[in-house]
Amino acid sequence: MSEALVTFDNVVHVYGTAEQQVTALRGVDLTVNEGEMVALLGPSGAGKSTLMWLCAGLLQPTAGQVEVCGRRLTRLRQSAATDMRLRDVGVVLQNPSRNLLPYETAKGNVLFAQRPTRRTAKMKSKRAHDLLDAVGLAHVSSHPARRLSGGEQQRLAVAVALANGPRLLLADEPTSQLDTKSAASVIDLIKAANEDLGTTVIAVTHDPEVGAALGRTVTIRDGRVGSEGHHGADYLVVGRDGAIHLPQELLDTVLPPGSLAEAILTETGVELRRVDVDGGSRAES
Ligand SMILES: Nc1ncnc2c1ncn2[C@@H]1O[C@H](COP(=O)(O)OP(=O)(O)OP(=O)(O)O)[C@@H](O)[C@H]1O
Ligand SMILES: [Mg+2]
């Protein structure tokens, strides 16, 4: 049994002030084991980026516990969180330019990321060259990051995040601005880090191909883990309060919101049956 590298225990996150509050996460339980690759899916506003920020130690949860790479992130000092990102966790934020030093060259960005390593200047330079080559940016390696296109910055951000062979890669929509070919090269690079170095990967995506490439999918809905997929099969996740998110097609057809149902234990499992109560008599369907 492999070890848990990331654990979310009933995590709640509320943004804002006393007057205006937005609850982004409302009780997330999630475990990602060392060496796993997970795609985070879910509609816009579901809380995916918030989950990534908490995981990177860039935000503190309002309630609950987050543990990453053996560190309890709740109340972790800023400097300790920065140290974790430098050594163990590669982060690609959703806005590509936020991941880069804008006035530094593409190669300079990958060199700068390697400063905590003990590699020689020659080794750092080779690593930068290899990574830029892998994401198709060798020809712009001497261009300042701010002059690169959005898609180029996104690829550079992935190269920077992988520069030190992190234990954990957190990538928030790393292929959203890429064409199919560039997206494939980024996914290949991420998979290679997982296979060669055992890097654990959590990637937010709207791209079904990325989801399929990573194997395990976790869908966030309304600030909770709604469902999980493993190698193509989808499963509901039972929350700690017993709540389950039904698939949208059932909500649209058999069990619209507000309908009454009973859960019946059968020999093979549990059956959810809609009940219509009409003037005291009941009909099942
Ligand atoms: N800094 C902030 N201040 C206030 N509310 C915020 C802040 N950041 C996010 N939110 C709110 O928290 C909720 C979750 O946002 P989050 O960015 O985590 O969603 P997401 O799933 O990443 O969405 P998208 O797919 O659009 O990137 C949203 O309702 C959003 O408006
Ligand atoms: Mg987001």
Cα(24) to ligand 1 centroid in Å equals: 6
- What confidence category does residue 279 fall into, taking pLDDT thresholds of 50, 70 and 90? low
Decide: 15 in ligand 1 pocket, CB within 6 A.
Answer: yes
Ligand 1 atom closest to residue 50's alpha carbon, by position in its atom list? 18
Judged against a pLDDT cut of 70, whether residue 284 lies above it is answered with no
Decide: 281 in ligand 1 pocket, CB within 6 A.
Answer: no
Long-range contacts of 228-235 (CB under 8 A, 24+ apart): none
Decide: 41 in ligand 1 pocket, CB within 6 A.
Answer: no
How far is residue 220's CA from residue 70's CA, in Å, rounded to a whole number? 24
Judged against a pLDDT cut of 80, whether residue 278 lies above it is answered with no
> Residue 258 belongs to what H/E stretch?
none
Cα(48) to ligand 1 centroid in Å equals: 8
The pTM is what?
0.90
Higher pLDDT, 235 or 163: 163
* β-bridge pairing 168-172 and 89-92: parallel
pLDDT digits 0-9 by tens, 29-78: 999 999 999 999 999 999 999 999 999 999 999 999 999 999 999 888 88
Question: Closest Cα to residue 149, out of 135, 162, 129?
Answer: 135
CATH architecture of 4-236: 3-Layer(aba) Sandwich (3.40)
Q: What is the mean pLDDT of residues 93-122?
A: 93
Supply the pLDDT for residue 281. Answer: 59
Can you give the residue ranges of every domain in the chain? 4-236, 248-284
Residue 218, beta-bridge partner list? 40, 228
